[in-house]
Amino acid sequence: MKAIVCEAYGPIETLAYRDMPDPVAGPGEVVVEAEAIGVNYPDGLLVQGLYQARPELPFVPGMEVAGRVIAIGTDVTRLAVGDRVVAALQFGAYAEKVAVAEAAATKLPEGFDAGVACALVCAYGTAYHALKQRAALQPDETLLVLGAAGATGLAAVQIGQAMGARVIAVASSEDKRSLAVGEGADVAIGYDDLREDLKRLTDGKGVDVAFDPVGGEAFDAVARSMAWNGRLLVVGFASGTIPQLPVNLALVKGFSAVGVFWGAFIQKEPEQAAANMAELIAWTAEERLQPVITERGRLGDAAEILARIHARQTTGKLILVP
C-alpha cells in the first residue's frame, strides 16, 4: 500500500510518499480501507518534532480516517467486515489502509460522506469537547472564536451557534470573516483593534467563553476582555507564540484559563469521547452542523497541503483521498 512517511523530524516538505507493508489487525483491532483522511494542523507539528508526542521513527502521520472495515482481529466484538467507520488515531492515518483499535472507531451510516466524517473527529471533536465539557457553554452566553475560518474555528462557530450562544468570530481577512458569518457567527471582526472591538460588542461586560487556537498577541487582548466567571479556552498556538498569562488578571477579573487537549481527552475518557462523536454525527445528519470541506486532494500531495495549512493559507477542512 502507499503511505506518507516521516523518516526524520524536520520540515513538512521532507515527508515521503512510498510503499509500506499492508497493516494486519492485531487483537482488538480492525483494518480500515481509507475513503478519506483528514489533515490537521497538529500533524505538521508532529512531523517537525514540535508536538507533545514524538513517535519512534519512521512513522505515518495522520489522526483521522474514514472508510470500510476489511479485516478484524481477535477480540473484536462490535464491528464486522463491511462496516463503514470513522476512527481517531494519535498517528498513522496517512495511508491507503490503516489498523485502528475497535474502541477508537465509530460506525457511520451508509451514505454518510467520509470526508465530513473526518472533519467531525479532530476539529469538531476538539471544539465540542472544549465548549461542552471544558467551558460548559450556556445558551445566550457570548462566545468568542479566534482563528474562526480554520477547520477548528469554524467548528467552534457552528457548535456555539447550535448550543445557543452569541458568537463573535475573529479572522484575519474580509473573506475569512465573511465565511465565518456564513457559517453561523453573529458578527466577525479582525485582530487589529481586538480589545476595543470586544469592549464595544459586549457593552464593556467582556466575553463569557473565549476559544483560542491562535495564542500570541491575540491571547493577551482576550485575557483583558473576559467577563466575570468567564472561561478562556487554551486550544493551541497557531501564531507560533505561546503566550504568558499575567495571573493577576484571572484574580481581578474572576475568569478561568482552561486547557483543551483533545488527544488526551480521547485517551483518558474514551466513553465520553465516543458519546461526543455520536452526538456530532447525529447533529450532522440532522443538518444542525455542516462541516465545510474546502479541498479534497490526493494522498501523495499531503506534504504540500499540510504546509499550506501551517502557512495559514487555507480555510475550512482539507481532506486527502487515496
Based on the domain organization, do 179 and 210 belong to the same domain? yes
Say whether both 178 and 209 belong to one domain.
yes
- 238 plus 221 within the same structural domain: yes
Residues 181 and 209 in one domain: yes
The total of structural domains in the chain comes to 2
**Mean local confidence (pLDDT), 102-119:** 93
**CATH number for position 11:** 3.90.180.10
Instruction: In whole angstroms, give the CA distance from residue 220 to residue 200.
Output: 17
Binning pLDDT at 50, 70 and 90, where does residue 53 land? confident
Mean pLDDT score of the chain, rounded to an integer?
95
Residues 105 and 129 in one domain: no
- Do 103 and 144 lie in a common domain? no
Asked whether residue 274 is assigned to any structural domain, the reply reads: no
Whole-number pLDDT of residue 120: 95
pLDDT of residue 269: 92
| pLDDT confidence of residue 52 | 79
Which grid coordinates are listed for 145? 472564536
181-195 pLDDT per residue, tens: 999 999 999 999 999
Boundary-marking domain end, from 247, 263, 279: 263
**Residue 316, domain extent:** 2-121+292-321
- Dump pLDDT digits (tens) for 155-213: 999 999 999 999 999 999 999 999 999 999 999 999 999 999 999 999 999 999 999 99
Instruction: Give the tens place of pLDDT for each residue, 270-281.
Output: 889 989 999 999
Set of cell numbers at residue 302: 499531503
* 179 and 63, same domain (yes or no): no
Give the three cell numbers for residue 308.
Answer: 499550506
* Phi, psi dihedral angles at 307 (to 5 degrees): -65, -40
> N- to C-terminal Cα distance for the chain?
10
Per-residue pLDDT, 238:
87
Do both 131 and 104 map to the same domain?
no
Is 276 part of a structural domain of the chain?
Answer: no
**132 and 256 share one domain:** yes
Q: Is residue 130 domain-resident?
A: yes
**What pLDDT was estimated at residue 110?**
87
Task: Put residue 111 in one of left, alpha, beta given phi > 0 → left and psi -120 to 50 → alpha.
Answer: left
Is 83 exposed, middle or buried (CB count within 10 Å of its CB: 0-12, 13-18, 19+)? middle
192 and 257: one domain?
yes
Residue 268 lies in a domain: no
Domain assignment present for residue 232? The answer is: yes
Give the per-residue pLDDT at 263.
86
Residues 116 and 133 in one domain: no
**CB 31, CB 24: distance < 8 Å:** yes
